[in-house]
A and B are shown apart, each in its own frame.
Chain A
Amino acid sequence: MLKNYFKIAIAVLRRRKFFTFISLFGISFTLTILLVLTAFIDKVVGDSYPDRKRDRSLYISRMTEVMQQDGTSSGPVSFYFLDHFVGSLKIPAALAISSGFSGTNTYVNNKKIAVSYKYTNAAYWDVMEYDFIEGKAFNKQQIDNADKVAVISEDMKNQYFGDIPSVVGKYIEADNVKYRVTGVVKNVPITSYMLFSDIYLPYTVAKTDFRKDKGYRGGFFGVLLAKSTGDVSRMQSEFNAMVRRLPMESKDYKKIYCHADPYIVSYVDTGDEKRSGVMLVLSIIGIFTLLVMLLPTLNLVNINITRIMERSSEIGVRKAFGASSRTLVYQFIVENIILTLLGGFIGVILSIIALHFLNSLNLIPNLVLSINFTVLAIGLLVCLIFGLLSGVYPAWRMSKLNVVTALKSQ
């Protein structure tokens, strides 16, 4: 029976090539968009390099201060706030502090290289688990001494030094200052914006002394590490209590909001206390997915109705010779699933090509997207949903067709 359905499905696809093209294009193109999107989300959300202890970490990304008059002021926190107030908490095992990355240019053989750099404290290297290709991180002693040392990314090493086996001990120049390389780490994609950089420097080598600025907001991020996952909620409570006790920076402010949140919540924090960033992102993804899927599904429903009605004589014959309405619904759904799986297969191939193309363009530094089994499973599931959604209604309509009317239509 299935073989017969398969034969007829293929024959129908070959019969009206333009319709088939439209159907397959709709399915495969939609699937490609969804697969690329899920590959992106999977990479951004699912990849836990270099913060592999996410389950016992809380991220501090921004602070919002509410003014006496209407209005709020919001942005990343300062080194002082992290070091002085957050650093005084008792429950955390460690506090990683790093600045957001800044850009500068450096030159190698008269060739300009764009460089991102950020400052970190010593605990940053204990909290994070960067993969060192060679060398190691700078230590507390070097930070206290304000030694001009640096950890660089693999990508930076290749761009600046070229293809040589070891660069530890060599000097790299950025912003007219030479830094001695202590280690080379595997690249971090820019989508991990709190952790990404080409060059990591001790916070003490910056031209401005971050410790002197007593403001609460600056350009820094913090990551609190608990001793165990059981301590995370206690650590969060202690943080919240500290924020509640925080004196206002000036008379202009009446309220301070600052959160230590799990990775995802912190990643999409909008600074808006009334609207959750997670809900906002989920809503955007949901609406996007719905729109992307809804249009081709409606299109397929329409095409399927036309195609099925063209086959009303066949429906009449099948009914006359013993097919029940249910059998016919089953047949047309199977045919449609064959069509969507075919579209899905093309979609997967297109996605591989699209991801390869996106990776080679290097639009987002160090972000290497790939199709993995999760994405593939989502893709296949999407295909089946497509097949069912676009097949059920036309099949049901067709199965209700009167035999005599169906036979007369030829």
Chain B
Amino acid sequence: MIRLQNIEKVYRTDTIETLALNSVTLDVAKGEFLSIMGPSGCGKSTLLNIMGLLDAPSRGMIQIADKKTDNLSDKQLAQFRNKTLGFIFQSYHLINDLQVLDNVELPLLYRDTTAKERRMLATEALEKVGLSNRIKHFPTQLSGGQRQRVAIARAIVGKPDIILADEPTGNLDSAMGNEIMDILINLNRNEGTTIVMVTHDENMAHKTHRLVRLFDGSQVQ
């Protein structure tokens, strides 16, 4: 589903050159639940951003859902992300000015859908994460766990093949973290969604199919 070959990422300033990823090669199979671990600054999030086409590698090849992505324009990249990828962030990144339902509808705004369809699909996604009774709330009126569930609903509303989660339980206590993990596991098991998750938590990582470890930008396991 995801194929990364010899991915390198170098950050350059006028004086310093930092190698964030060093020749990382990784294949993620369809329906796989993969976790990435490593110490802070080892390049986990950079790798996830490159998989999510949010950042471009300095060198290497990316193939997602059988499509090479190096030559896509800004508009094509946006469309590709919209159809194929869903994101979950550690700090949720919900839009506080919009109600829960509007937040979940967001990816559908950039597709050819009617308002009625958007409403229906967003309500369906919120039901899956157990938040159908909170659709009129604003994010600031919800707990951390509830906010992350809204973020998951937003990630799955467009039925993407792949979900990329950057420390989804990082801001939550263990009970809430487990709840979120259960939702992701069910999503992977029942819907066949491919999930790549960056985490610091060994327990969470061991619940996934495979664990990849990074150290100083290189893959060590």
Collect the chain B residues with CB atoms within 8 Å of residue A162's CB.
none
Interface residues of A in 308-328 (CB under 8 A from B): 313-314, 316-327
Collect the chain B residues with CB atoms within 8 Å of residue A4's CB.
98, 102, 105, 109
Digitize A318-341: 1 where CB-to-B-CB distance is under 8 Å, 0 elsewhere.
111111111100000000000000
Digitize B71-98: 1 where CB-to-A-CB distance is under 8 Å, 0 elsewhere.
0001100110111000101010111011
Q: Is A174 an interface residue (CB 8 A)?
A: no
What bracket does the count of chain A residues touching chain B fall in?
20 to 34
Q: Is B111 an interface residue (CB 8 A)?
A: yes
Contact A321 B89 (CB under 8 A): no
Of the listed residues B78, B91, B94, B110, the one surrounded by the most CB atoms of chain A closer than 10 A to its CB is B78
Give the distance to chain B from A300, nearest Cβ to Cβ, in Å. Answer: 20
Identify which of A1, A8, A320, A327 contacts B95 (C-beta below 8 A). Answer: A8
Q: Is B115 an interface residue (CB 8 A)?
A: yes
| 9-residue interface stretch from A93-101, A239-247, A363-371, A402-410 | A402-410
Collect the chain A residues with CB atoms within 8 Å of residue B107's CB.
321-322
Contact B97 A322 (CB under 8 A): no
Give the distance to chain A from B103, nearest Cβ to Cβ, in Å. Answer: 9
Collect the chain A residues with CB atoms within 8 Å of residue B74's CB.
324-326
Give the distance to chain B from A364, nearest Cβ to Cβ, in Å. Answer: 48
Digitize A3-30: 1 where CB-to-B-CB distance is under 8 Å, 0 elsewhere.
1100110011001000000000000000
Tell me, in angstroms, the Cα distance from A404 to B111 when the chains sit together. Answer: 23
B residues whose Cβ falls under 8 Å from a Cβ of A:
49, 52, 54-55, 74-75, 78-79, 81-83, 87, 89, 91, 93-95, 97-98, 102, 105-107, 109-111, 115, 154, 158
9 nearest CB pairs, A to B: A322-B82, A11-B97, A322-B110, A324-B78, A321-B107, A403-B54, A324-B75, A317-B93, A404-B55
Other A-B pairs, 10, CB within 8 Å; known A314-B95, A324-B78: A1-B109, A316-B93, A317-B106, A320-B87, A321-B82, A322-B78, A324-B75, A325-B74, A327-B78, A410-B93
